[in-house]
Amino acid sequence: QGLSFLIETHSEHLILRLLRRIREAAEMTIKVIDQPLSPALIGVYCLSKRNGAVTIDEIPVTKDGDFAKPWPQGFFDERGAELF
């Protein structure tokens, strides 16, 4: 419908839930009513301050619902402890 949202969060749980929904849609383990959530529909960006300037790093999401590259050091360090 042409709607776009910009959601800023410090919540790992929100991002992990989005990844989970992408994974479930890809594996067809969730009933999709309309349009499944896919990596093409979301963008994940990490903003950090380096040398007095703000840099923006895109963190691509795979079709399997995972990050295509690691988060910058210090972000979501608790993820591994929660998953394993």
Per-residue pLDDT of the chain (84 residues; tens, 9 = 90+): 678 888 888 888 888 889 998 998 888 887 766 667 889 889 999 888 889 999 998 999 999 999 998 877 766 665 556 655
H-helix or E-strand containing 50? strand 45-50
**What pLDDT, on the 0 to 100 scale, is given for residue 60?**
94
**What pLDDT, on the 0 to 100 scale, is given for residue 68?**
92
pTM given for the model: 0.72
**What pLDDT, on the 0 to 100 scale, is given for residue 58?**
92
Give the integer Cα–Cα distance in Å for 62 and 33. 22
Q: What is the largest CA-CA distance in the chain?
A: 47
**What pLDDT, on the 0 to 100 scale, is given for residue 2?**
77
